[in-house]
Structure 1
Amino acid sequence: MTDAIQKVCVIGAGTMGAGIAAQVANAGIPVLLLDILPKEGSDRDAVAKGAVAKMLKTDPAPFMSKQAAKLVETGNIDDHLSRVAECDWVIEAIVERLDIKQSLYAKLEELKRPGTAVSSNTSTIPLEKLVEGRSEQFRSDFLITHFFNPPRYMRLIEIVRGPHTDSAVADRVEDFVDRKLGKRVVPTKDTPGFIANRIGTYWLAVAINAAMDQGLTIEEADQIGGRPMGIPKTGIFGLIDLVGVDLMPLLSQSLTQNLPEGDPYFDTVRDLPLIDRMIAEGRTGRKAGSGFYAFDKKTRTKRGIDLNTGEYRDPIKPERLPPRAEGDLHALTTASGKVGPFAWEVLGKVLSYSAMLVGKAADDIVAIDDAMKLGYNWKYGPFELIDRLGPGKLAERLEAEGRDVPAILKTAGDRPFYRVEGGTRQYLGLDGEYHDVVRADGVLMLADVKLGAEPIIKNASAALWDVGDGVACLEFTGKMNALDGEVMKLIGKAVPLVAEKFKALVVYNEGSNFSAGANLGLAMFALNIAAWSEIEKLVKGGQEAYKALKYAPFPVVSAPAGMALGGGCEILLHSDAIQAHAESYVGLVECGVGLVPGWGGCGEMVDRWKKMPKRPQGPMPAVAKVFEIVSTATVAKSAAEAQGYGFLRASDGITMNRDRLLADAKAKALSLVDGYSPPEPPEFTLPGPSGKAALMLAVETFHKQGKATDYDVVVSEALAEVLTGGDADITDTVTEEDMLALERKAFMERVHDPRTQARVEHMLETGKPLRN
Structure 2
Amino acid sequence: MDAPIRKVCVIGAGTMGAGIAAQVANAGVPVLLLDIVPSQGADRDAIAKGAVAKMLKTEPAPFMSKAAAKLVETGNIEDHLDRVAECDWIVEAVIERLDVKQALYARIETLMRPGTAVSSNTSTIPLANLVDGRSDTFKRGFLITHFFNPPRYMRLVEVVTAPDTAPEIGDRVSDFTDRALGKRVVRAKDSPGFIANRIGTYWLAVAINSAMDLGLDIEVADQIGGRPMGVPKTGIFGLVDLVGVDLMPLLSKSLASTLPAGDAYFDTIRPMALVDRMIAEGFTGRKGKGGFYRLEKGADGQRTKLAIDLATGEYRPQRKPAPLPKAAEMDLAALIAMPGASGAYAWSVLGAVLSYAASLLGTIADDIVAIDDAMKLGYNWKYGPFELLDRLGGRQFADRLRAEGRLVPPILETLGDRRFYQIEDGRRRYLTAAGDYAEVVRPNGVLLLEDVKLAAEPLLRNGSAALWDVGDGVACLEFTSKMNALDEQVIQLIQKAIPLVQSRMKALVIYNEGSNFSAGANLGLAMFAVNIAAWGEVERLIASGQAAFKALKYAPFPVVAAPAGMALGGGCEICLHADAIQAHAETYMGLVETGVGLVPGWGGNGEMLDRFASAPGMPKGPMPALGRAFETISTAQVSKSAAKARELMFMRPADRITMNRDRLLADAKSRALALADGYLPPEKPVFRLAGESGRTGIAGAVRDFRAKGIATPYDEVVAERLAFILTGGEADLVDVVSEDALLKLEREAFMSSVRDGRTQARIEHMLDTGRPLRN
TM over 0.5: yes
2:577 to 574, 593, 598: 574
Alpha-carbon distance in structure 1 between the residues aligned to 2:723 and 2:216: 56
- Measure how far apart 1:322 and its partner are: 2.0
Asked if residue 709 in structure 1 is aligned to residue 712 in structure 2, the reply is yes
Counterpart residue number, 2:236: 236
Alpha-carbon distance in structure 2 between the residues aligned to 1:336 and 1:2: 59
Equivalent runs, 1:242-321 vs 2, <5 Å: 242-296=242-296, 298-321=301-324
Counterpart residue number, 2:186: 186
Please say if residues 355 and 408 of structure 1, whose CA atoms lie closer than 8 Å, have aligned partners that are also in contact.
yes
Please say if residues 582 and 658 of structure 2, whose CA atoms lie closer than 8 Å, have aligned partners that are also in contact.
yes
Counterpart residue number, 1:108: 108
- Measure how far apart 1:118 and its partner are: 0.2
Asked if residue 622 in structure 1 is aligned to residue 625 in structure 2, the reply is yes
TM-score by length of 1: 0.99
1:548 to 548, 551, 563: 551
- Measure how far apart 1:2 and its partner are: 8.2
Question: Aligned AA for 2:135?
Answer: S
Equivalent runs, 1:62-81 vs 2, <5 Å: 62-81=62-81
Counterpart residue number, 1:361: 364
1:558 to 557, 561, 571: 561
Equivalent runs, 1:421-570 vs 2, <5 Å: 421-570=424-573
Counterpart residue number, 1:223: 223
Alpha-carbon distance in structure 1 between the residues aligned to 2:296 and 2:561: 42
Please say if residues 196 and 371 of structure 2, whose CA atoms lie closer than 8 Å, have aligned partners that are also in contact.
yes
Counterpart residue number, 1:680: 683
How many residue pairs get matched? 772
Deviations 1:73-112 (A, max 9, x none): 0000000000000000000000000001000000000000
Alpha-carbon distance in structure 1 between the residues aligned to 2:405 and 2:325: 28
Asked if residue 50 in structure 1 is aligned to residue 53 in structure 2, the reply is no
Alpha-carbon distance in structure 1 between the residues aligned to 2:547 and 2:534: 20
Counterpart residue number, 1:92: 92
Please say if residues 427 and 451 of structure 2, whose CA atoms lie closer than 8 Å, have aligned partners that are also in contact.
yes
3-state secondary structure, aligned to 2:9: strand
Alpha-carbon distance in structure 2 between the residues aligned to 1:247 and 1:2: 39
Alpha-carbon distance in structure 1 between the residues aligned to 2:644 and 2:384: 33
Question: Aligned AA for 2:81?
Answer: L
Question: Aligned AA for 1:349?
Answer: A
3-state secondary structure, aligned to 2:64: coil
Question: Aligned AA for 1:126?
Answer: P
- Measure how far apart 1:532 and its partner are: 1.0
Alpha-carbon distance in structure 2 between the residues aligned to 1:771 and 1:200: 42
Asked if residue 390 in structure 1 is aligned to residue 397 in structure 2, the reply is no
Counterpart residue number, 1:18: 18
1:738 to 725, 736, 741: 741
Alpha-carbon distance in structure 1 between the residues aligned to 2:229 and 2:474: 37
3-state secondary structure, aligned to 1:435: strand
Counterpart residue number, 1:652: 655
Alpha-carbon distance in structure 2 between the residues aligned to 1:557 and 1:289: 46
Please say if residues 2 and 176 of structure 1, whose CA atoms lie closer than 8 Å, have aligned partners that are also in contact.
no
Please say if residues 553 and 559 of structure 2, whose CA atoms lie closer than 8 Å, have aligned partners that are also in contact.
yes
Alpha-carbon distance in structure 2 between the residues aligned to 1:203 and 1:764: 36
Alpha-carbon distance in structure 2 between the residues aligned to 1:722 and 1:3: 54
Equivalent runs, 1:375-386 vs 2, <5 Å: 375-386=378-389
Please say if residues 482 and 519 of structure 1, whose CA atoms lie closer than 8 Å, have aligned partners that are also in contact.
yes
3-state secondary structure, aligned to 1:111: coil
Question: Aligned AA for 1:234?
Answer: T
Question: Aligned AA for 2:33?
Answer: L
- Measure how far apart 1:317 and its partner are: 1.0
- Measure how far apart 1:521 and its partner are: 1.0
Equivalent runs, 1:95-244 vs 2, <5 Å: 95-244=95-244
Alpha-carbon distance in structure 1 between the residues aligned to 2:2 and 2:602: 40
Identity %: 70
| Distance change (3 Å), C-alpha of 1:84 and 1:136 | same
Alpha-carbon distance in structure 2 between the residues aligned to 1:66 and 1:548: 37
- Measure how far apart 1:287 and its partner are: 1.1
Please say if residues 2 and 175 of structure 1, whose CA atoms lie closer than 8 Å, have aligned partners that are also in contact.
no
Alpha-carbon distance in structure 2 between the residues aligned to 1:246 and 1:442: 41
- Measure how far apart 1:727 and its partner are: 1.1
Question: Aligned AA for 2:443?
Answer: A
| Distance change (3 Å), C-alpha of 1:395 and 1:40 | same
3-state secondary structure, aligned to 2:205: helix
3-state secondary structure, aligned to 1:202: helix
- Measure how far apart 1:301 and its partner are: 3.5
Quote the RMSD (CA, aligned, Å). 0.8
- Measure how far apart 1:3 and its partner are: 6.3
Deviations 1:626-671 (A, max 9, x none): 1111111100000000000000011001000000000000000000
3-state secondary structure, aligned to 2:56: helix
Alpha-carbon distance in structure 2 between the residues aligned to 1:734 and 1:287: 53
Alpha-carbon distance in structure 2 between the residues aligned to 1:488 and 1:604: 19
Counterpart residue number, 2:421: 418
Stretches of structure 2 lacking an aligned partner (at least 5 in a row): none
Please say if residues 725 and 734 of structure 1, whose CA atoms lie closer than 8 Å, have aligned partners that are also in contact.
yes
Alpha-carbon distance in structure 1 between the residues aligned to 2:692 and 2:367: 67
2:598 to 591, 595, 599: 595
Alpha-carbon distance in structure 1 between the residues aligned to 2:96 and 2:167: 26
- Measure how far apart 1:714 and its partner are: 0.8
Larger mean Cα displacement after TM superposition, 493-502 or 703-712: 703-712
Question: Aligned AA for 1:552?
Answer: A
Question: Aligned AA for 2:42?
Answer: S
Larger mean Cα displacement after TM superposition, 525-534 or 295-304: 295-304
3-state secondary structure, aligned to 1:712: helix
Alpha-carbon distance in structure 1 between the residues aligned to 2:734 and 2:337: 75
| Distance change (3 Å), C-alpha of 1:356 and 1:499 | same
1:748 to 745, 748, 751: 751
Please say if residues 182 and 657 of structure 1, whose CA atoms lie closer than 8 Å, have aligned partners that are also in contact.
yes
Question: Aligned AA for 2:563?
Answer: P
3-state secondary structure, aligned to 2:650: coil
Question: Aligned AA for 1:376?
Answer: Y
Please say if residues 587 and 635 of structure 1, whose CA atoms lie closer than 8 Å, have aligned partners that are also in contact.
yes
Question: Aligned AA for 1:316?
Answer: R
2:616 to 613, 616, 637: 613
Question: Aligned AA for 1:708?
Answer: A
Alpha-carbon distance in structure 2 between the residues aligned to 1:436 and 1:4: 30
Please say if residues 2 and 180 of structure 1, whose CA atoms lie closer than 8 Å, have aligned partners that are also in contact.
no
Asked if residue 335 in structure 1 is aligned to residue 338 in structure 2, the reply is yes
Alpha-carbon distance in structure 1 between the residues aligned to 2:181 and 2:332: 36
Please say if residues 282 and 289 of structure 2, whose CA atoms lie closer than 8 Å, have aligned partners that are also in contact.
no
Question: Aligned AA for 1:26?
Answer: N
| Distance change (3 Å), C-alpha of 1:296 and 1:663 | same
Equivalent runs, 1:756-771 vs 2, <5 Å: 756-771=759-774
